[in-house]
Amino acid sequence: MNQKKYIYFFGGGKADGNGQMKDLLGGKGAGLAEMTNAGIPVPPGFTITTEMCTYFYQHDGKLPEDFDQQLKENLKKLEELTGKKFGDPKNPLLVSVRSGAKISMPGMMDTILNLGLNDEAVKGLAENSGDERFAYDAYRRFIQMFGNVVMGIDKNEFEKYLEEKKKERGVEYDSELTADDLKDLVEKFKQVYKEKTGEEFPQDPMVQLKMAINAVFKSWNNPRAITYRKINKIPDDLGTAVNVQTMVFGNMGNDSGTGVGFTRNPSTGEKEFYGEYLTNAQGEDVVAGIRTPKPISELEKEMPEVYKQLREITEKLEKHYKDVQDFEFTIEKGKLYMLQTRTGKRTPMAAVKIAVDMVKEGLITKEEAVMRIEPAQIEQLLHPIIDPKVKVEPIAKGLPASPGAASGKVVFTADDAERKAKEEPVILVRIETSPDDIHGMNAAKGILTSRGGMTSHAAVVARGMGKPCVVGCGELQVDEENKVIKVKDKEIKEGDWITIDGGTGNVMIGEIPTVEPGLKGEFKTLMEWADEFRKLGVRANADIPRDARKAREFGAEGIGLCRTEHMFFAPERLPIVQEMIMAETEEERRKALDKLLPFQKEDFKGLFREMAGFPVIIRTLDPPLHEFLPKREELMVEIALMKEKGEDPKKIEEKEKILARVEQLHEFNPMLGHRGCRLGITYPEITEMQARAIMEAACELAKEGVEVIPEIMIPLVGNVNELRNQKEVVVKVAEEVMKKYGVKVKYMVGTMIEIPRAAITADQIAEEADFFSFGTNDLTQMTLGFSRDDAGKFLPYYIEKKILKEDPFMTLDQEGVGQLVKIGIEKGRKTNPSLEIGICGEHGGDPESVKFCHRVGMDYVSCSPYRVPVARLAAAQAAIEEKMKEK
């Protein structure tokens, strides 16, 4: 019987696995196997598969019976290859134990270095290396990491002794401590371990290794890993692999070092060798931001041969993977080792530039470039930048880790950031961030740290989130305990405003004005390529000319929804709208509507002008009338106060009249009440006025030679007779107006499909409609029976408990609401094959929902202006995915 393989070996120029095996070996393990097979110098080791992580959770933290046997076999291979022995006091084999999931989760999982050391082996390491200080430094680090990662002892329990020792010796850096100092620390650290766990520090390397493997599996479900997966929509059941790799040491003197880098700049996308390193240091020193590292260009002066080899290897890796690589390396006594390579995380701006450049370099195709960009990232490219016209006076400058400008009030902890961000914008300021800060980073507008480099935790996570971030701003003295920042002669306290510019690294006091960027350069090129592939049209939801102009700049091909009620709330119009509502006769109502008509006409002219040559869908009045009147409770209080002050009885009488009308219009469930087409049916004069304003605006512009394409949309239709009634009103007015102006304008009358009954009887409704627009906000509400305004009370629990995968108001519920959409499209087109069909709910800008709209055969999606580029890209990806499936 064939034994199942739990462990994959790599080393000696060949590996059991390869780069395609990310599901089984995780991203890191697959990368190590691929590099080994390509003949790149990688310290040998083995990868325990993600299947073991799943097994571990299914069997109460136990692994298969024959797992130990495979573990020993792979250790034996490693011993033969390195000539060292695990647990040997004379020539010990030391390993690192790292996690590595299929999808890279920076800073989320825990690492243990120098495993295999004990009280005897440390002497052997000292003798073999001829460096006692180095050996005890390795042992002290191992006890601290093992204690923290495996046993959950707070890092600070160890750190405080380290700080005390440095104070006692009058030194600043760990590297200045002597061998005797470190021996003393080893004893102190073992004491901390015993106090906190009630056990002695384990001396058997096999016990250490098994405990470490279990700890990596457990770390898959640590709170920060769960938070990261939630924010980035990574499935919880992927599990992590464990990589056990021979240790190489970057802390063996000045001909040793460790570093991290990218084959291109991950912040701007520029084609430049980018990274940082530290001489005489171990890997975690760079990433943890404990010492501020040197730029990688300096390595060329310090170790020219190593630098040349590193350049050659990383260029080879980029060509091999056809993507930017994020790599880690260690130099041990002048010899270079590659510890890992993976696809590099990058800012949206860099992602676009790199994709476009790689097409120009012939590395990838246009389709691949379009598929590489996540549509949601595109939105971040439209982030504000500091207004170039404003003269800024930076008080400090750090490293520009993630672009975009952000202003906010200073907070010093992640918990405060999360709490206060609900009320006002905040900037999270830390000495350095740790993975435990992720919730606060997610809530803040921007992140500022005084320590750390471009590859520190803050930088990597902020880039992934698309948040402005400045790191390594050494001029700032951040006092987290007293919640104050000292810089030069100034003090910035919690709650003070600051502005950070993640593009330049500048930090300014106060709130600085920002400007919105546009579509230009590589971004414009990428969007043009997306347009070549997509079949779906993209329109925008816009109610005013300014929004329509922005939408056109971002590539919208018309307006998919103009909500006329938004125009009614303007201060000079609201009294007229209220007069219309208060009217007791049709004649009085018409008088008020006549006053509103010129306003509405001008509004529509503005929109038609901006969208010349493109369709503009205008929805007739939708909300219930009471929304335009003061609130009942407010009126009651106002009247009581007026009476108390003895104000003019006439004025009081007027207010009482309004209150009586508010009482009359009061509804128990206004969302299902007197609104939408029901208003137009009971008060046809409202629909008449709006149709007249639309058609007069269209005719006047048509006379000026502007191409106008009005589409009039009747909301909340659930029965074909409702549409028939309102269409008659619109057509009658339209014909009258065109006759009056002596102009013919091509117009359409359609409806919003937002009531489940409308979708089910779409074949009947399509007999009267020229177009359908799915109003998926209301359709979701009515299909799920969730009130959009109240669902926030329970939706987060539904998502947390996995009752629902996603918020159905953000991403279309394809199995439920999506089926109604499908039925509506199929039935509608059966009756009327030329029916124009689109969507205008919030879902029109959600990438997954856009792909669904493509699959069900809609003509266009419509979304807010800022999401137009997102929808264009998602539509292109849907078309490319479909083509790939056909192959």
The set of catalytic residues is 457, 840
Beta bridge partners of 98: 243
Nearest one of 193, 119, 180 to 150, comparing CA atoms? 193
Task: Classify residue 677 by burial, with Cβ atoms within 10 Å: 0-12, 13-18, 19+.
Answer: buried
Query: How far is the C-alpha of 199 from the C-alpha of 204, rounded, in Å?
Result: 13
Give the number of other CB atoms < 10 A from CB of residue 815.
8
Q: Please give the structure tokens belonging to residue 300.
A: 């060329």
Query: Which candidate, 449, 258, 428, 232, places its Cα nearest to that of 345?
Result: 232
How many whole angstroms separate alpha carbon 786 and alpha carbon 820?
16
Mention every residue, 6+ apart, whose C-beta is less than 8 A from residue 750: 617, 711, 712, 713, 714, 769, 770, 771, 772, 773, 836
**Contact assessment for residue 485 and residue 349, using Cβ atoms and an 8 Å cutoff:** no
Burial profile 213-228: b = 16 or more Cβ within 10 angstroms, e = fewer: bbbbbbbbebebbebb
Rg (CA), the chain: 33
Tokens found for residue 90: 């004379």
DSSP string, 638-650: HHHHHHHHT--HH
Cβ pair 11, 44 in contact under 8 A: yes
CA 29/CA 48 separation, integer angstroms:
9
- What contacts 816, CB < 8 A, 6 or more positions away? 783, 784, 808
Task: Estimate the share of the chain in helix, then strand, then coil, as percent rounded to the nearest 5.
Answer: 50, 15, 35
Length, in residues, of the chain? 887
Q: Which residues lie across from 406 on neighbouring strands?
A: 500
Strand partners, 47: 8, 243
**Angle (deg, nearest 10), helices 50-58 and 205-219:** 80
- Give the dihedral of Cα atoms 802, 804, 805, 808; nearest 10 deg: -160
**Rounded to whole angstroms, how far apart are CA atoms 31 and 46?**
12
Q: Determine contact, residues 868/540, Cβ cutoff 8 Å.
A: yes
Find the farthest-apart pair of alpha carbons in the chain and give their distance in angstroms, rounded: 104
163: its two tokens: 């700080």
Rounded Cα–Cα distance for residues 52 and 42 (Å) = 24
What span, in angstroms and rounded, lies between the C-alpha atoms of 679 and 712?
16
Question: The dihedral of CA 32, 37, 43, 46: what is its sign?
Answer: positive
* CA atoms of 700 and 602, how far apart (whole Å): 11
- Are 861 and 536 spatial neighbours (Cβ–Cβ below 8 Å)? yes
The owner of tokens 């991290």 is 260
